[in-house]
Chains A and B, each alone.
Chain A
Amino acid sequence: DQQVKQNSPSLSVQEGRISILNCDYTNSMFDYFLWYKKYPAEGPTFLISISSIKDKNEDGRFTVFLNKSAKHLSLHIVPSQPGDSAVYFCAASASGQNFVFGPGTRLSVLP
């Protein structure tokens, strides 16, 4: 039972363009969402989060959008840089319980 889905296993984007990574969830009790970036042989690194009371959160080049009615969130990276190439995980939790991770999307930013 995949509570958190990332339907695109991979994404390629030109440097300087926008990267949009998508995430869908099924559990309506989720109230906190995070994006993590992961390089090979390293632990996930926190990028940005959003709570269910907001529909947008921005931090520098990273913006997360939340559409609660669609149970969908997306991460926008503008402009994309080669160093952004990594696997991106969407994660969700309900009332501070454990975080459920999606399967990840591998982003490749081409120079």
Chain B
Amino acid sequence: EPEVTQTPSHQVTQMGQEVILRCVPISNHLYFYWYRQILGQKVEFLVSFYNNEISEKSEIFDDQFSVERPDGSNFTLKIRSTKLEDSAMYFCASRTGTWGEKLFFGSGTQLSVL
């Protein structure tokens, strides 16, 4: 089965630093998502992306966050100035866009902000 690939699997950074989390969605998918899960808490929606623009974003996704699809395959999440509370597992997901089709998730990037 095709997979969503995320790199790196772990990222450690100092507070205030910028980080870029990378994702390669499944090749024929059109909708891309970032979710995060803080340890012990629920999976939270951050942002969805379609047709090279953000289609929806949550309250969490403030000006410190940005997403980009720099080429035909990668989908990135940038956090400009990381905070301690940004420490979480970040999941990328994608789907074709057909109604009723499931989200395919990557295995996640564990971000630790020190």
Interface residues on B, range: 20 to 34
Measured CB to CB, the nearest residue on chain B to A34 is B102
Check if B99 sits within 8 Å of A97, measured CB to CB: no
B65 CB–A CB distance under 8 Å: no
B3 to chain A, nearest CB (A): 9
Among the 9-residue stretches A17-25, A36-44, A60-68, A70-78, the one with 4 or more Cβ atoms under 8 Å from chain B is: A36-44
Check if A102 sits within 8 Å of B42, measured CB to CB: yes
Contacts of B33 in A (CB 8 A): 98-99
Check if A101 sits within 8 Å of B42, measured CB to CB: yes
B100 CB–A CB distance under 8 Å: yes
Contact partner of B42 (CB less than 8 A), chosen from A32, A49, A51, A103, is A103
- Residues facing B in A72-101 (CB within 8 A) are 89, 91, 95-101
Residues of A within 8 A of B (CB): 32, 34, 36, 41-46, 49, 51, 89, 91, 95-104
